[in-house]
């Protein structure tokens, strides 16, 4: 017998020893009993003996052999994440797997699923064109599912019909999957800058981190495509990380159109459990050559990994904000180093951490300074001083006039306001009452169409009061603007215009955003009103005007990253204008038109803005010149929350490890869902010093009672 040291999904920073009566290897899934409950675990080590007394060691109930064990490299990656982010190894490992692999339910045998023909195809009705094409392929030999799906967009539905009608049946394919042809469709001639970027990545031997800094519309995606083509020709797999679930369907379609014979799968939380498992297993077996996904796909099994691409690497969505609080971008860099493969970080506005690494020579900086289409020019940037303008419900008359001019020319306009709902708050003109949330330290947002007040933090909602709850008078009015209010104003001003609002409320239905995107591309929309969903990754040829509302809000933020995020957001949304042969214009409403941020934006000068911010951060002692960890606590009792953090602070100071320990302060949202929230910041001059301190701090040993606590390494939110 051997001792299996097993990772379990329990919040304890240790492995658990179990006796294995049958052969077991590292990375296998096993079923064990833990605290009278059966749980799935992952074998992390196999040893000859245990330090635990023999009478306390339980036996492994069953070794699960319905899927391949996790690879050594993936287990090492997950161990690194557990160590670096100081999160228990069990939840780290199990959370990286598809849900179906974490439960004791039978899995289909991990085999190459395919279809074979069982009826004479000549009897198929002639009108079934796609179905006939499928059967013609199966006449030659049984085929794998991805091969058949590539025959036509509707092949999946036709296969289900053929199977139900008894024309085909599922079968296990005995032969090993052959490498597909890496044909590149619709190949474009690269610009000199694009070609130079491709050559520099391909010429690097082994691991190399390349920061691809390209202005909006410069063709970063085309650089990705040509890099992928070369890697596919060499038989490698590619991991492509994107920040938003909303971007995955269109990117999946785009890359599939460029590599029509290459199996591609997506991995993100929007997939069903079965779909995610199937895609994950196709990546694990090497059948899928391209894996496209959001941050969780950084943990996909890829035996032939040869290239990692992180698109929009600056985006905050790559940082997980609960559980294992990892940065998918940083984990991807470590994974590339671990595997000895190149990684490309692409962005029009790189994060200051990545930009600083490029300046210091740790990353190779690749630049794309011109738009890929020769007829396309960067949009003209301008500011509208709201202090000197006639305003109508938060929109200047000049911006309204520019929208009217675009409508008359048959062009599209985008009004960007990063706030959904009708208005941020409902207020009484008589007594000053405001629609505070009873459960949070925030306000309830007015959603006029639904006749609701909603809290965007805890999700609570209530009807709109007929009179002021404070004084009983009827003087309630909305303050500020959201997407719904702007939409109402534009409908009143331009009653014949086709207006489309794009935000989380309007895209709740599964296929809503896809249908909206088709409307925009078909030029069936005159005015778009939207949030950050519209800011990145979209190419709307008829869009020539972008108007930005509420940009000044970020300038008042206490978060030192707020200005960096605002610049990136405005650069991204401005990049939607003038991407074809029609010139674009961007108008930003602001009370501070002479602010350095807006001056750099007008000249599309990211380098000057980044240099200014880096200089300020160096003087202030902020990242990337220091390294931070944030201990957070929340609970219903305010005294308990602060007492716990003060005790943790006292222990941190007593260690005397050369780190800076700040005071305990309320979180930016001090109360959410009736829970008081506070935080403690630790700062060090080196990553090594911070990690050594965190290992010695041992916060798990500080009693926390019923409090929820979390440690966030390299925090992005304050």
> Higher model confidence: residue 93 or residue 137?
93
Beta-bridged to residue 546, according to DSSP, are: 414, 586
Say if residues 61 and 37 touch (Cβ distance below 8 Å): no
CB count within 10 Å of CB 606 equals: 20
DSSP type of residue 66: S
Question: What is the pTM (predicted TM-score) of this model?
Answer: 0.87
What domains can you pick out in the chain, each with its CATH number? 2-67+82-102 (3.40.1440.60), 113-172 (1.10.10), 192-368 (3.40.50.300), 380-423+480-607 (3.40.50.300), 627-713 (3.30.70.600)
342 is written with which tokens?
């190149």
> Which has the closest alpha carbon to 396: 589, 157, 629?
589
> What Å distances lie between residue 334 and 121, 327, 667, 712, CA to CA?
51, 11, 31, 18
DSSP type of residue 297: G
pLDDT in tens, 230-263: 999 999 999 999 998 877 878 888 898 999 889 9
The angle that helices 192-203 and 220-233 make with each other, rounded to 10 degrees, is 40
CA angle 142, 146, 152 (to 5 degrees): 100
> Which has the closest alpha carbon to 230: 314, 307, 173, 122?
307
Is a pLDDT exceeding 70 seen at residue 110?
Answer: no
671 is written with which tokens?
């109360």
To which residue do tokens 């038989």 refer? 235
Is a pLDDT exceeding 70 seen at residue 666?
Answer: yes
pLDDT in tens, 414-424: 999 988 888 88
Say if residues 660 and 685 touch (Cβ distance below 8 Å): no
Q: How confident is the model at residue 55 (pLDDT cuts 50, 70, 90)?
A: confident
> Which has the closest alpha carbon to 481: 495, 501, 467?
501
Characterize the bridge pairing of strands 208-214 and 342-347: parallel
Q: Assign residue 157 a region (left: φ > 0; alpha: ψ between -120 and 50; beta: otherwise).
A: alpha
pLDDT in tens, 438-491: 999 989 999 988 889 999 999 899 999 989 998 988 889 898 889 999 999 999
Give me the torsion for CA of 459, 462, 468, 470, rounded to 10°: -60
3-state SS string for 537-596: CCCCCCEEEEEECCHHHHHHCCCCCHHHHHHHHHHHHHCCCCCCCCCCEEEEEECCCCCH
């Amino acid at each position: 017998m051997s001792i299996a040291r097993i990772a379990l999904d329990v919040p304890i920073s240790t492995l658990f020893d179990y006796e294995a009566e049958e052969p077991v290897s590292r990375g296998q899934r096993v079923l064990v009993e833990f605290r009278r409950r059966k749980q799935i675990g992952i074998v992390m080590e196999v040893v000859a003996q245990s330090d635990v007394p023999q009478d306390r060691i339980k036996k492994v109930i069953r070794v699960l052999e319905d899927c391949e064990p996790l690879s050594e490299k993936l287990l090492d990656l997950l161990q690194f994440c557990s160590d670096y982010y100081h999160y228990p190894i069990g939840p780290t490992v199990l959370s990286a797997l598809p849900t179906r692999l974490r439960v004791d339910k039978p899995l289909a045998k991990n085999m190459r699923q395919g279809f074979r023909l069982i009826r004479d195809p000549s009897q198929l009705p002639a009108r079934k064109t796609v179905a006939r094409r499928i059967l013609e392929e199966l006449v030659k030999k049984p085929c794998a599912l991805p091969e058949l799906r590539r025959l036509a967009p509707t092949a999946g539905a036709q296969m289900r019909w053929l199977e139900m009608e008894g024309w085909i049946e599922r079968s296990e394919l005995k032969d090993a999957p052959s490498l597909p042809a890496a044909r590149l469709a619709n190949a474009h001639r690269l610009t000199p800058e694009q070609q130079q970027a491709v050559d520099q990545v391909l010429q690097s031997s082994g691991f190399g981190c390349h920061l691809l800094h390209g202005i909006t519309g410069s063709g970063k995606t085309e650089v990705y495509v040509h890099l992928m083509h070369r890697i596919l020709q060499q038989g490698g797999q590619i991991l492509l990380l994107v920040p938003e679930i909303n971007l995955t369907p269109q990117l999946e379609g785009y890359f599939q159109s460029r590599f029509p014979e290459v199996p591609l799968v997506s991995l993100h939380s929007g997939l069903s459990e079965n779909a995610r498992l199937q895609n994950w297993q196709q990546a694990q077996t090497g059948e899928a050559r391209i894996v496209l996904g959001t941050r969780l796909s950084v943990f996909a099994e890829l035996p032939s990994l040869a290239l990692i691409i992180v698109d929009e690497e600056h985006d905050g969505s790559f940082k997980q904000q609960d559980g294992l609080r990892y940065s998918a971008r940083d984990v991807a860099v470590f994974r590339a180093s671990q595997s000895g493969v190149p990684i490309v970080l692409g962005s029009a506005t790189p994060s200051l951490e990545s930009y600083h690494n490029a300046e210091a020579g740790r990353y190779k900086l690749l630049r794309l300074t011109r738009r890929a289409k020769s007829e396309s020019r960067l949009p003209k940037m301008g500011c509208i001083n709201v202090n000197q303008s006639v305003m109508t419900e938060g929109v200047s008359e000049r911006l309204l006039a520019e929208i009217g001019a675009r409508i008359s020319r048959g062009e599209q306009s985008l009004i960007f306001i990063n706030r959904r709902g009708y208005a941020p708050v409902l207020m009484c003109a008589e007594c000053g009452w405001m629609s505070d949330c009873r459960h949070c330290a925030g306000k309830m947002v007015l959603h006029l169409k639904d006749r609701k007040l909603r809290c965007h933090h805890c999700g609570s909602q209530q009807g709109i009061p007929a009179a002021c709850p404070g004084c009983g008078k009827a003087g309630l009015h909305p303050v500020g603007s959201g997407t719904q209010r702007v939409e109402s104003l534009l409908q009143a001003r331009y009653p014949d215009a086709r207006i489309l609002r794009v935000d989380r409320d309007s895209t709740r239905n599964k296929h809503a955003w896809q249908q909206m995107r088709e409307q925009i591309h078909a030029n069936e929309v005159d005015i778009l009103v939207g949030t950050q969903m519209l800011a990145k990754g979209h190419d709307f040829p008829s869009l020539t005007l972008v108007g930005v509302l509420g940009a000044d809000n970020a300038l008042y933020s206490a978060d030192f990253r707020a200005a960096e995020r605002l610049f990136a957001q405005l650069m991204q949304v401005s990049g939607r204008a003038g991407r074809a042969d029609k010139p674009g214009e961007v108008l930003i409403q602001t009370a501070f038109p002479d602010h350095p941020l807006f001056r750099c934006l007008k000249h599309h000068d990211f380098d000057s803005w980044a240099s200014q911010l880096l200089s300020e951060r160096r003087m202030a002692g902020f990242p990337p010149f220091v390294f931070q960890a944030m201990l957070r606590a929340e609970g219903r009792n305010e005294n308990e929350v602060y007492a716990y953090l003060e005790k943790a602070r006292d222990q941190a100071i007593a260690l005397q490890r050369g780190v800076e320990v700040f005071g305990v302060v309320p979180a930016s949202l001090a109360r959410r869902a009736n829970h008081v929230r506070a935080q403690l910041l630790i700062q060090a001059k080196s990553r090594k010093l911070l990690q050594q301190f965190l290992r010695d701090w041992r916060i798990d040993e500080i009693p926390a009672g019923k409090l929820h606590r979390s440690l966030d390494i390299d925090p992005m939110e304050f």
